[in-house]
Structure 1
């Protein structure tokens, strides 16, 4: 049996914080024998959180950027007694059972309702304690997202316990009850599209802010992980030190809050009456290390940026491939740049080395098509969207200091080594007809004998498309190591003295046979599982059972599991061309043809943008040309035939969109807004 002395572990974290003796200069050491489970998309995550909260016997620590108490963790809420899994009801139940609950919550200034959340949670039970951070307005935010149960189990990643995060692998755009699903999956504010209207009045949980009869919801793709093992002690240390630090900053008001750890937290559940040991025999094979971005505005440390160091080291040490999935990509390749982090430079240097040595090396980056903020791209209200777009484009492909330009200057074709992708989906919004309307339409059909044409006219109105919003913060390297947490690729998350972030580095010591560059390869089991699960969802391959039946060139495996791993070889040029490039290109072309959606690589100026996108006065957001009999080259039958050819959700990230326009200076407000807010 493996044991961990909790007092010594706390002291070890403190000593490491002072001496920076750990890898990546982290406050936390590498912990072995950790068991991990990947939680991909909201349904997986929320179900695991239900199990975690329900199992709590002693205490819970919750760290969150956003928390909405009236969140339903299991859907549909109106079926199978699922209302009992509303977040505030679950927490209240556990508090009544004697569980102490401590919450650190970002004190927002943007209508996310942290004051409302504070009042709701603290009114549930005297055992529930909440601190909002920071106490004074700052440009930076408390962005960490993790949950600790009884000191044994923990959740870390990109998910907040909040509206709009629940989703399934299907990432549907509509939410009307049907014969198969008689209740709504996304009630109230959970049916959301921030590109049309961002969150408001979050205390009104049952209010839907967009018209669900017309406007598609924006799907949400995110990733977190569940862990059992000694690594949880470092998250405990992280939470307790910050709690006490913030409590002291509140002075007299803070004295009303208990200091941590409570004596009963140290004494019960995971510690026996005569031992200071925590049982760590979880049978895990993963080595896990906590890394963070922290400084003295949010905790008792001057400055730590171990997430940033982990990024740089993971990139530099990569041997075969790097897969990045993130909400933002804002970075620099130059020392004299307002963007300070050098993740972009690290990628350029690693690619240049691969080119020099003749290595088959690949970087794949998956980002949202657009930042998830409200506003038409030509309007005043979209200034935040365009500011972030500008920063991302100068990081990726525009200007002499972008990744692509630096590679071209070195005689390297960027797409030989690094490519950029996004996610999109389509659906139908078919509101149920009222009986009077149904009778009227039936009468029209009978009178005019044009049933097929009327059906065509109605059907074309139903089609919608929307990007899938990528909120995950994941790096996977060589099927050996992964980073998962709350940190974006930007200065806010990585520099340490801005947003507060937390992440973990995972490396599996159990290896399984796989493929890399067409050759047999030993991959870390859990890391390979993570990559395959993500890729199969994006590529539309989750339902494949017999991989040998795909009839792909070069597939030689009789065993289905090994055939899957050969198909998904990240360095196989044939597989990459077929599964990534060809699929993303075909999907992109279909969406362009059917929906005229932006951003798009054929649109270089604002005038072209205005001419290309559907007229918003006649065609609702997300709908196809042809809506309500507007001119179109398509009808419902041709649209459906084209959409049937889409596979998965993968599309090309539009590197050339508005590349002949000045994205950033469309109005005076934008010219005086400090871009550092968005870096």
Structure 2
């Protein structure tokens, strides 16, 4: 019930005639995404939280005795303001109140003049609007016209509970007391200044000003005026959800030049000539930022261990009005108008630093910038397939922001493969869909030195930014002489969604990375339909499915109308209708719709047969097979009626469609075709038609999904970016769905505010199935929407999950497959490096002669506070890059970190593969990469300390192993830590194992047998020098310390696989690109850092890793004794060992032994280390050498021997059958790394080679 407006409540000029904004604020909070709106857009809806009252109370009045400068205004008023959960304090003098009263009076008179014109304009605009078509999330402010023009009313605010605000803008349960007002009208503002009021009357003055201020805040026309916001120190960033608390804000002047201390002429110019600029400073939970007059953020100063106020290292002397703020990146010099303002500001900052900012000031483990976050969640991904599918699903759920940082990013890669849904899951299309929904996407890409790398990242930047204005891309660094950034790169691989979900690991979103555990070598893309079981055809399966679904619809009384209509049959087609209810997000019925099942006539079927009579014989044979089934949809509908007549005669058995998801979105440009007999697509025989079989699979969210058969029609769209599906000359199946256009269903218009939109262009099955779970989902949404704390918006992810329900395509019904590695994705790094990367779908490797290089990698996803930390790193890098390259470019905004005060992980993200750990973010950054003073090498520190403190074993998978002992050229200490720990185990007589897996060869183009020197040889030189060759290597130092059998403690291994390519046996190494460390089945480091100086020292490449310490433990064994192993660490280690030993169920080359026989729990005991691991390693190595004459190998110690080795005819060529027999004995892909390969050769680059002309640091 809304109170009738009185003369003091009605308003003719407050808000109802104001132009309606193009966006709305959610009831009860201001969405975080509004920080990217313009100042004008934001001011149209005001700075205040909708539906929440603003109150103010003057709690204290005290005389300023510190100075005699304020003769007219000697009293300071302490005003405590409250707005929902936000409480803050401002300090004002009488002159501030007087200035506000004057401004409000002028604003009121101006609004009274504008009001009639605005009202007339709005009436004209409303006459052209179709109100029935208008939908809103919530009604925010509905102001009613009062009886008198000059009175000011109060907005009606709809709330969940139905409570309405009282005349002062408060709800009945507001804790604040009502303001007593005179019957004659609002309180009058006192005109006399404080200097003319005696001290004994100051209490009355306080009450007068408080009454006036509180009444002014009840009037929307006053409360929403920007002068009121400035008076209460409120800006557009004050109450935005997830930005943290409201501490202190205010205007002041900033010294230009970043506050840096110059000498000589520069110091004189900065200090005395350049004008100080007016800025507005904002204090938040974990940072300070300032905005300019346009309310655009101009700098973000993050709290860190070096953050100080008036640091003696920055300033030697300061004036009372001055304030200097400094951190590891910047020095901010500010000047305030009054001395007491500077005092209040410093006190407020110190208060925040002692509370929410304390975590950033104290030292963290390993010298990291980020603390260890307890009780967090993490999930690992082995190889790119699972990671990319999960990432694509999470991107679809983004609400506000997406951050991507990659060494290389290729927009035209496919996140899900095979590409049975056309270009729907191509990365650029996925990002474009989110950008069109309003999600802001920020991408950082390493800017390569084009003389050495052919990544063409400028092409990726242009392509992405053309997709939508919401996509922003920056490349860094610029390669200027003197900057020292010619050789170092940004090597992070990050994907962050809404600062709540963060993917961290070793996988870039680029060509050549996608792979799975099978690691196949050939990809020719042939497709054939697999033979079906006798008596089971596609048409029978479809008819049965529809029958089962229809019975489910009939059985559910809440979803199917009591009566069923069937239209009159005609000569052309038969249409049956099933009515359904449409529910809103709260579960209430708001309308009806109906599903139509169409049976085409026999004449139409004959016409389609006539159209396809010239198809190839293979198609005709397929047609004949389909004609054998005579069941029609009319038969199905007859059974549906019979079932409805007696629905309880038998219980329904589970069907494959029980968990069919509701999809709110279809692949772009999809056009459904008319249905033929038994639901078979009429144009199925069209050669440009591809049918995608889909069955029950597990979705990226860990829940079973049931997928449908659908067909798509090929068209052409010149504006659409071409894909492999557009090039029939090069591809067989994947070109099937490149450009396809959507059609819209015709339905009755419903005057709805919120409906659950049915997907467009669905098949009969999808239209029937769409209502199976309506009631359950509607109830779930209602439960999620009825929240006491509307600002807690994490449950929106659960709602979106219920709506979107991501699916996964399965091709188990096919023999062969479409190309999984189209165009540039098919790569062999040793044969040829990337060329013409802008031509995404043109091959540059002869896939009929050259096998591809499989890619083995590891990634992870973290949530909550850890994701906030990863996002904070991205924000620091983005803001540093903007400051350096685009300081005054408004198209590239500064980013703000979200608060940590109420981080909640939606329960839908947690599944059986998610583990509970304590997690810390580790980095390698320096001044060039993040604009910080000094460097951070917390990754190296964590590696070294974890190895030194290891009790049982260390497991390493890495792209490089370049780490030496007591070397002046390679200075990272990982190898020394390994050596010291092994030597300690030898002295103590304890069992200790080190597993190291690295690639057989560096991933650079080059031929070891040729006379040309290459980067491959240079990196191989440093690798062998680290492992076994020379006085600084690990093996030599172990022998020096008395360990005669070093391989009893350490094993260096690699991966190799084989396949058949065009009937010929071929082999290739599996390229290990992981950056993984596992210690004692308790500690795991996953990230982007290699084991070399580039990644570990901090001042070179920038890197990010996460350190996970297990919190959940399972019974295990270590060296034969009982041991509690961490669940996350042990699960990941055993998963990797199973893949390498061929023990996975889906292994391409399975071990000749049952997986249950191999005990992976104890990686330390001799029964595994010698009898399983080393046995498989040596056996596999011998088989590959015998069958393929594979190299590198320990049997070759010089280049001359290598030439002879390569010239010998391998068994795979002279006796393929015998070779296949030997290959059946392989245990997976594990082989020995050849530490003695070319041991008699000096592989170091000479001055005569281009590798010898550049610093060796490039390769180390």
User: How big is each residue's C-alpha offset from its partner over 1:618-664, in whole Å with a ceiling of 9 and x where there is no partner?
Assistant: xxxxxx7478xxxx6x4111111111111200000001100011112
Cα distance in 2, alignment partners of residues 46 and 320 from structure 1: 34
Compute the displacement of 1:285 (Å): 2.2
Matched, 1:587 2:1180: yes
**TM-score (norm: length of structure 1):** 0.86
Match of 2:407 in 1: 65
Matched, 1:216 2:564: no
Aligned residues: 609
Matched, 1:399 2:1030: yes
User: How big is each residue's C-alpha offset from its partner over 1:463-485, in whole Å with a ceiling of 9 and x where there is no partner?
Assistant: 10000000000000000000000
Cα distance in 1, alignment partners of residues 844 and 854 from structure 2: 16
2:424 to 84, 87, 90: 84
Matched, 1:467 2:1069: yes
Q: After superposition, where does 1:325-474 map in structure 2 within 5 Å?
A: 325-334=957-966, 336-379=967-1010, 382-412=1013-1043, 413-430=1045-1062, 459=1063, 462-474=1064-1076
Match of 1:160 in 2: 508
Cα distance in 1, alignment partners of residues 1137 and 305 from structure 2: 37
Match of 1:434 in 2: none
Matched, 1:107 2:447: yes
Compute the displacement of 1:9 (Å): 5.4
2:1088 to 481, 486, 493: 486
Compute the displacement of 1:172 (Å): 0.2
State the secondary structure of the residue aligned to 1:140. Answer: coil
Q: Which has the higher contact order (CA 8 A, sep 6+)?
A: 1
1:650 to 1218, 1230, 1240: 1230
Q: After superposition, where does 1:53-202 map in structure 2 within 5 Å?
A: 53-77=395-419, 79=420, 81-109=421-449, 110-136=453-479, 138-176=486-524, 177-179=526-528, 180-202=815-837
Compute the displacement of 1:611 (Å): 1.1
1:609 to 1187, 1202, 1207: 1202
Cα distance in 1, alignment partners of residues 435 and 886 from structure 2: 26
Match of 1:242 in 2: 877
User: How big is each residue's C-alpha offset from its partner over 1:423-459, in whole Å with a ceiling of 9 and x where there is no partner?
Assistant: 00000012xxxxxxxxxxxxxxxxxxxxxxxxxxxx4
Cα distance in 2, alignment partners of residues 43 and 30 from structure 1: 30
Cα distance in 2, alignment partners of residues 168 and 550 from structure 1: 22
- In 2, are the aligned partners of 1:322 and 1:362 still within 8 Å (CA)? yes
CA RMSD of superposed structures (Å): 2.4
- In 2, are the aligned partners of 1:248 and 1:254 still within 8 Å (CA)? no
State the secondary structure of the residue aligned to 1:285. Answer: strand
User: How big is each residue's C-alpha offset from its partner over 1:321-376, in whole Å with a ceiling of 9 and x where there is no partner?
Assistant: 00010000001211x42111111111111111111111110001000000011111
| Change in 2 beyond 3 A, CA 1:509/1:281 | farther
Cα distance in 1, alignment partners of residues 1247 and 1097 from structure 2: 30
> Higher helix share goes to which structure?
1
- In 1, are the aligned partners of 2:1134 and 2:1160 still within 8 Å (CA)? no
Matched, 1:525 2:1117: no
State the secondary structure of the residue aligned to 1:319. Answer: coil
Matched, 1:318 2:950: yes
Match of 2:199 in 1: none
| Change in 2 beyond 3 A, CA 1:246/1:254 | farther
Flag the structure with larger Rg.
2
Compute the displacement of 1:63 (Å): 0.7
- In 1, are the aligned partners of 2:1211 and 2:1218 still within 8 Å (CA)? no
Q: Which runs of 5+ in 1 are unaligned?
A: 431-458, 553-559, 616-623
State the secondary structure of the residue aligned to 2:487. Answer: coil
Cα distance in 2, alignment partners of residues 357 and 314 from structure 1: 19
| Change in 2 beyond 3 A, CA 1:429/1:496 | same
Cα distance in 1, alignment partners of residues 948 and 834 from structure 2: 40
Cα distance in 2, alignment partners of residues 46 and 551 from structure 1: 31
- In 1, are the aligned partners of 2:518 and 2:1146 still within 8 Å (CA)? no
State the secondary structure of the residue aligned to 1:527. Answer: helix
- In 1, are the aligned partners of 2:1186 and 2:1210 still within 8 Å (CA)? no
Cα distance in 1, alignment partners of residues 841 and 405 from structure 2: 25
| Change in 2 beyond 3 A, CA 1:506/1:50 | same
Match of 1:27 in 2: 369
| Change in 2 beyond 3 A, CA 1:5/1:286 | farther
Match of 2:930 in 1: 299
Cα distance in 1, alignment partners of residues 512 and 1016 from structure 2: 19
Cα distance in 2, alignment partners of residues 499 and 665 from structure 1: 23
- In 1, are the aligned partners of 2:521 and 2:1059 still within 8 Å (CA)? yes
Match of 1:599 in 2: 1192
Matched, 1:637 2:1217: yes
Match of 2:1259 in 1: 678
- In 2, are the aligned partners of 1:229 and 1:281 still within 8 Å (CA)? no
Matched, 1:14 2:303: yes
Cα distance in 1, alignment partners of residues 1100 and 1245 from structure 2: 26
| Change in 2 beyond 3 A, CA 1:285/1:551 | closer
